[in-house]
Amino acid sequence: MTSDRTDAIENLLREDRTFEPSEEFVANANLSDASIYERAATEEGFRAFWTEEGNGLDWIEPWTDLYEWTAPYAKWFIGGKLNVSVNCLDRHVAAGLGERVAYFWEGEPGETRTITYADLLDEVCQLTNALRDLGVKKGDRIAIYMPMIPELPVAMLACARIGAPHSVVFGGFSADALADRIDDAQCTVVITADGGYRKGATVPLKKAADEAIGRTASVQHCVVVQRTGDEVAWDDARDHWYHELIKDQPRIADPEPMDSEDLLYLLYTSGTTAKPKGIMHTTGGYLAGVATTHRTIFDLKPETDVYWCMADIGWVTGHSYIVYGPLANATTGVIYEGAIDFPEKDRWAKVAAKYRATILYTAPTAIRALMKYGADAFADDDLSSLRLLGSVGEPINPEAWAWYWKEIGGGRCPVVDTWWQTETGMIMITPLPGITTLKPGSATFPFPGVVADVVDEAGFSVPLGGGGYLVLERPWPAMLRGIYGDPERYESTYWSRYPGRYFPGDGCKRDDEGYYWLLGRVDDVMNVSGHRISTTEVESALVSHPSVAEAAVVGRSDPITGQAIFCYVILRSGFDASDALGAELRGHVADMIGKFARPKQILFTPDLPKTRSGKIMRRLLRDIAEQRDLGDVTTLADSGVVNAIRDQSGSGED
């Protein structure tokens, strides 16, 4: 970023500006009446809202009661039967939208495919028939371990058509992680690929799948998509090429009628123990929740919008806002296989410009990585088609928000900063772009009908202007229905700390106007001399300094203060690491937050350890800070990063 651009961003933040939706945006917005919040706050209005949304789906048998709630268990659209794949595909084709593009797909090496809704329905039916021929039936669990290729959503939708819950495992996970997930769900089929592409290299997915299957006893079949053409080991009794399996299959397949509360998928997320949690999402409520939030929060115009969620389908963001929500809304989407900055730093911008993307949904980590390169890196790419931006995955620091709004959105695109998680299934705290006045760094307010609060240790509501723990106090349609095979863990993890209220594990504060400011995971809150300091707050302070491109903060054990603040900092181009700059940054954080938040040490580093989806591996950063032996690093995009960090010299300590 040039100094003029840096000054412009700093001015935006110094002015403590808020951002009103433009008159033009409001005039055309799907939601522009702020009274929706008041109406949805009452039980009658809440029921009316979700009744209308539920009735927007196609039901094989109508539901009779909207919901039942006996904490911590909910049921939604009770008695109704539907099929998710029908709602994502068949009904659109029947309505004459078969030639609408469902996905523009681009592979990292540059291949492209344009897939219409009719194309997608045909292939889903072919795979459905092939899986049925292999003996797959309603209730069987299927593991999907694939790169970002069209066959991934095809596989998910074929499972949904059969009523076989899928467990998508992100393609960056190791064979051990895959084996754990196969074992826990007792999957009978694994759908994978020979490999995938990542920064010019091939990722050997079939090899990892073979290793995982070898450690489990439930898998009977392995279906393999030919993606890279790499040679793979083959078991004739178990393995099947995807293209051969579907080649002669009919393009019609009867959908299985599914009860609204039947399991749609499992998605495993990390916990405080070594065993991952199999989050359970069911059918009717989940689909209503993701379709509604996708349409309203992104102000979707399916006839004209080209929507690009830059996440990986292997995470919940991809499930809800690349596959199920967008397809239920007959959206035209973009799927890109590889790294957003390969082989050029502006690969993402070239993709967005090529397909004339109008909506972009990405993570603060990605935004800060682009900030490091600077806006000049994509100055020649035409992003004028963009009309709305979204942020997902972690709290976004105000400077990154302002840069995203100004440099990528051209100062004309509302930014919907969304808070939610694997367990919630759908977005829970978010702006509504035709209604909400935006504040950089704030997720603003709960979605209409969502009842949230910020409470103290004892569970008492904290007055406006204070901080504490986020809780959710009313059930919502897409909420998790439990942890697979472990109801006790479900109750103890999410419902025991504040009985009757859902505790997501996140810290939060509200300002004097009631805006919600997420502080990150509670286990990412440091306790320094009795002060509870959010790692997110310190990171935001660091990246507000003009020299800092990205920062990650962890707590390190300290014999005097309990924990000390340890910071990993990536500098912008043109700045050099030095003890003087380290001291300046420590002072800058103290000025921004308070002397109690002054970091103990700054470690300058050329990169951070991240997974292939861009998530920072904070566990490794804590291990490095504590000088502990490192654990498994197989999920990293570049496992050499941790060694590079260890080789760096710090700026000293106070």
Over residues 15-55, the pLDDT tens digits come to: 568 999 999 999 999 999 999 999 999 999 999 999 999 99
pLDDT of residue 646: 62
Select from 652, 515, 638 the least CA-distant residue to 577: 652
* Residue 390 contacts residue 416 (beta carbons within 8 Å): yes
User: Angle at the Cα of 88 (from 83 to 92), degrees rounded to 5?
Assistant: 115
3-state secondary structure of 424: coil
**What is the pTM (predicted TM-score) of this model?**
0.86
pLDDT of residue 637: 46
- The C-alpha atoms of residue 597 and residue 590 are separated, in whole angstroms, by 6
Cβ neighbours for 190, distance < 8 A, ≥ 6 positions apart: 142, 143, 144, 145, 182, 209, 212, 213, 219, 221, 222, 223
The percentage of residues in the chain with a pLDDT greater than 90, rounded to a whole number, is: 77
Q: How many CB atoms lie within 10 A of CB 276?
A: 18
Query: Quick one: pLDDT band at residue 634, thresholds 50, 70, 90?
Result: very low
Q: How far is CA 214 from CA 134, 180, 183, 208, 479, in A?
A: 20, 12, 11, 10, 34
* Residue 226 contacts residue 246 (beta carbons within 8 Å): no
- The C-alpha atoms of residue 470 and residue 424 are separated, in whole angstroms, by 13
**Range among 371-375, 381-385, 545-549 rated most confident:** 381-385
Q: What are the pLDDT digits (tens) for 405-455?
A: 999 999 999 999 999 999 999 999 999 999 999 999 999 999 999 999 999
- Is pLDDT of 632 > 50? no
Helix axes 579-593, 535-543, angle to 10 degrees: 120
Q: How far is CA 98 from CA 8, 326, 330, in A?
A: 46, 15, 10
For 174-183, 204-213, 258-267, which range has the lowest pLDDT when averaged over its residues? Answer: 174-183
Please give the helix or strand (H or E) that residue 23 lies within, else none: helix 23-28
Cβ neighbours for 444, distance < 8 A, ≥ 6 positions apart: 417, 429, 430, 431, 436, 438, 515, 516
Q: Where in the chain is the domain with CATH 3.30.300.30?
A: 529-647
Structure tokens at 444: 């603003």
- Is pLDDT of 582 > 80? yes
CATH of domain 529-647: 3.30.300.30
pLDDT of residue 16: 63
Residue 80 has φ and ψ, to the nearest 5°, of -80, 150
Q: Which CATH number fits domain 3-81+267-519: 3.40.50.1970, 3.40.50.12780, 3.40.50.10860, 3.40.50.720?
A: 3.40.50.12780
| CA pseudo-torsion sign 446, 451, 456, 460 | positive
Q: What is the overall mean pLDDT for the chain?
A: 91
Select from 502, 634, 472 the least CA-distant residue to 642: 634
Structure tokens at 602: 């700054």
**If phi over 0 gives left and psi between -120 and 50 gives alpha, with beta otherwise, what is residue 356?**
left
- The C-alpha atoms of residue 362 and residue 380 are separated, in whole angstroms, by 21
Q: Where in the chain is the domain with CATH 3.40.50.980?
A: 84-256
Q: Where in the chain is the domain with CATH 3.40.50.12780?
A: 3-81+267-519
* Residue 232 contacts residue 203 (beta carbons within 8 Å): no
Fold of 84-256: Rossmann fold (3.40.50)
| CA pseudo-torsion sign 113, 313, 549, 644 | negative
Cβ neighbours for 188, distance < 8 A, ≥ 6 positions apart: 135, 136, 140, 141, 142, 218, 219, 220, 221
Give the distance from CA 32 to its chain's centroid.
Answer: 26
